[in-house]
Amino acid sequence: MERLIVTAAIIESNGRILLAQRKPGGKLALKWEFPGGKLEWGEHPEAGIQREILEELGMEIIPDQVYAVHSVVEGERQLLLIYYLAAPCGFSKPQPLDCNDCCWVHPSELLAFDLAPTDRKVAEKLYADFNNSAHPQD
């Protein structure tokens, strides 16, 4: 059995969250996701997510804390997905270098996108957290 560790960034800026669209032709083609990728051997997860975002979107980020962790089994492969809350570093702007497209969306719009399955679960949690913070109980 193969095990892979994947990191993803929930990048927030000015109340919006960055989504990236996967390239056509591959697995989960054209699905939207929180950007990221596989860790290299021996790489720390925070360093890995910074490297992946730089390669995929040409932007520097500052990872903050782990927001969610999911384990997915696909046949003989297990993926451990670690989602970090993150912020852009300085005036860094995303460019779709190794993805089809990218866009900033309000948390209330997340579920309108055709998200990859595990990213949808995280988006549902973000959406719920956003609604709970936007409308606190008395």
Taking the C-alpha atoms of residue 22 and residue 30, their distance in angstroms, rounded to an integer, is: 5
Rg, the chain, Cα only: 15
Residue 126's nearest CA partner among 49, 28, 18, 45 is: 18
Residue 30 has pLDDT above 60, yes or no: yes
Give the range of the structural domain holding residue 70, as residue numbers without chain letter.
2-134
pLDDT at residue number 92: 78
* 49-99: pLDDT as tens digits: 999 999 999 999 999 999 999 999 988 999 999 999 999 998 878 999 999
Grade residue 130 by pLDDT with cuts at 50, 70 and 90: confident
The total number of structural domains in the chain stands at 1
Taking the C-alpha atoms of residue 67 and residue 69, their distance in angstroms, rounded to an integer, is: 7
- Torsion, Cα 78 84 89 95, to 10 degrees, reads 50
Global pTM value = 0.92
CATH at residue 71 = 3.90.79.10
Taking the C-alpha atoms of residue 125 and residue 100, their distance in angstroms, rounded to an integer, is: 25
